[in-house]
Structure 1
């Protein structure tokens, strides 16, 4: 049984809808410090008492280096990456909205819409590269990032499909313009 046209809910534009999902997930990840685990200084077991002083000093230096690295991550690296990655997602969604706002009637409008779609694709790729850098820099669980990367890649597929459907619009505008020139 079908739903009457008057009772149907408006279907969200899938590219925009999915971009919002990506932005929400990325924002949540940034708020959670990209999954960085809290620093824990492990207490020395009694077995360490039998170590020589040289071994104990080496262990203490290692603990100090890990603590300094963690503090640097929290102090400047994570806030800097949060700003960068949030800006990239913001720009991606912005380009998608700009492209969607253009209802092409002329070839120049088709070209402008295509530029915004291409920029959105570029921001998706930039987002993947930035997440890859975070994974290689921070001690985080890589498996948590797989779903996010898959979501971004799905967004790229949706944008490419959108561009492909725009080719039909472009062709019809070209045909219409050819007819008006010959007439």
Structure 2
């Protein structure tokens, strides 16, 4: 038994499943701080087998500035930068899913509805470009290994399924125009 188009489940759409997987992968990557080791480290963790004289020199320098040599140090990347980039990536994936859902809800019966649906599809495709650009930006500014998330980047490029979905709407648009014309 077939299901009416307006009652079909959204998860049956391959591009939607792909977008959900992309969202999950990017969220996992962001939760792991892009694979950067950001755990606090002390001098003893950075310099192994430090000589006693050098340790005393270090202790003196730290004491001069009111710090302890065994306290934790943050990594060389500012926390605000990492958090900002994580929020960008997650916002892009949220927008991608929102645009796909909003476009899929519209079952056009007029040219205006076709145009509205197409704008949302275009926006979803644009988000894929922004995601790809964001990963290139991260690669330029952080020592992350994009091979680690090569599958995710491939999913971004796999979003050409969205273009196929948008192109299939041309048939609907032509039927509506033929009815009106």
- Name the CA shift for 1:28/1:128 in 2 (closer, same or farther; >3 Å): same
Structure having the larger proportion of residues in helix: 1
**CA distance in 1 between partners of 2:145 and 2:131 (Å):** 18
1:37–1:140 CA contact under 8 A, matched in 2: no
Q: What SS is found at the alignment partner of 1:116?
A: helix
Residue in 2 that maps onto 1:134 = 138
RMSD: 2.5
Residue in 1 that maps onto 2:70 = none
2:139–2:146 CA contact under 8 A, matched in 1: yes
Give 5+ residue unaligned stretches, structure 1. Answer: 47-67, 179-183
**How far 1:69 moved relative to its partner?**
8.4
**How far 1:84 moved relative to its partner?**
1.1
The 5-angstrom pairing of residues 137-156 of structure 1 reads 137-155=141-159
Residue in 1 that maps onto 2:20 = 20
**How far 1:44 moved relative to its partner?**
6.4
Q: Deviating runs (4+, > 4 A) in structure 1?
A: 38-42
**How far 1:137 moved relative to its partner?**
1.1
**How far 1:21 moved relative to its partner?**
0.7
Q: Normalization by structure 2: what TM-score?
A: 0.74
**CA distance in 2 between partners of 1:28 and 1:86 (Å):** 10
**How far 1:37 moved relative to its partner?**
3.1
**How far 1:72 moved relative to its partner?**
3.1
Give 5+ residue unaligned stretches, structure 2. Answer: 3-8, 51-72
1:158 aligns with 2:164: no
* Corresponding pairs, count: 150
